[in-house]
């Protein structure tokens, strides 16, 4: 069973593909569709509060014929954040939960969860701690609430969950750990919270498969023209699974997106 997860940074930019970057994004989305995954999880959809437009829906249905599409859009800020699941099989149930997060985080469309017969598939777009770490305190409260939410699912069935977690867990997970120790996404607080999540009963599939392999990144800053060329990246996107199904993971990899900077998709193969 193949699952793919990607922070796409705007569904509309992909569907319209009027700019060189939009063309690259659309090309990656087409490559994902060609793999015929069981589930595609997408973060940072930036959809309107009422979800997909007719044009966007038609474009996705053409790429993923016969699939089921579920969205969670931000009602707090226009065309902001947002998540989506595209599933080959119709789930038993789908929820877009509020987890008791601080501020407006619960209204930012950050989680979609689908229940299948033997497992849950969930995707998350974790809030960024922000410039000057202005949102770090709220981010830690989010992490606590999210861990409690996932634990609730895990008590019922194993969970396969993915997304942009906005944290590089260990020094091996970014190119320049020394100079980013106090940067959003690599603070002691965020890294510790991710450790707490794993310790609650979950496996970081990529690091389990490749424990000591450096320079595996999923994000390269757009503001630096050479970040992708120099592979000066961060690994902030993950596929996590309940420990009791970790042995079912066959492969996990970062999908090559060529010259396109920002996030790259993750592709998970798991026997379920």
> Could you give the residue numbers annotated as active site?
125, 164
The structure tokens listed for 261 are 């900077």
Return the DSSP state at 214.
-
Q: What is the CA radius of gyration of the chain?
A: 17
Residue 210: both structure tokens together? 């490749």
Could you give the CA distance from residue 256 to residue 126 in angstroms, rounded to a whole number?
Answer: 23
Number of residues assigned to the chain: 272
Q: Which tokens in the block code for residue 105?
A: 């985080």
Which residue do the tokens 């017969």 mark? 117
Angle formed at CA 245 by CA 242 and CA 249, multiple of 5 degrees = 110
DSSP 62-75: HHSTT-EEEEE--S
Helix, strand or coil, per DSSP, at residue 144: helix
């Amino acid at each position: 069973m193949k699952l793919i997860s990607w922070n796409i940074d705007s569904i509309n930019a992909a569907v319209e593909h009027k700019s060189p970057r939009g063309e690259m994004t659309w090309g990656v989305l087409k490559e994902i569709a060609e793999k015929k995954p069981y589930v595609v999880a997408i973060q940072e959809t930036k959809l309107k509060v009422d979800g997909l437009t007719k044009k966007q829906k038609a474009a996705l249905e053409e790429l993923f014929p016969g699939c089921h599409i579920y969205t969670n859009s931000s009602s707090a800020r226009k065309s902001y954040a947002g998540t989506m699941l595209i599933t080959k099989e119709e789930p038993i149930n789908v929820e877009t939960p509020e987890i008791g997060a601080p501020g407006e985080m619960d209204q930012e469309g950050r989680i979609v969860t689908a229940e299948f017969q033997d497992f849950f598939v969930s995707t998350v777009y974790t809030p960024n701690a922000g410039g000057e770490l202005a949102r770090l305190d709220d981010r830690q409260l989010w992490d606590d609430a999210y861990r409690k939410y996932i634990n609730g699912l895990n008590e019922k069935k194993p969970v396969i969950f993915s997304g942009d977690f906005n944290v590089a867990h260990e020094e091996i997970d970014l190119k320049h750990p020394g100079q980013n120790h106090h940067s959003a996404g690599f603070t002691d607080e965020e890294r510790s919270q991710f450790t707490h999540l794993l310790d609650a009963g979950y496996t970081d599939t990529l690091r389990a498969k490749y424990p000591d392999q450096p320079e595996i990144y999923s994000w390269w800053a757009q503001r630096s023209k050479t970040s992708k060329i120099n592979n000066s990246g961060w690994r902030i996107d993950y596929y996590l699974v309940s420990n009791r199904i970790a042995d079912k993971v066959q492969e996990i990899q970062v999908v090559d997106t060529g010259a396109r900077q920002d996030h790259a998709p993750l592709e998970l193969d798991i026997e379920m």
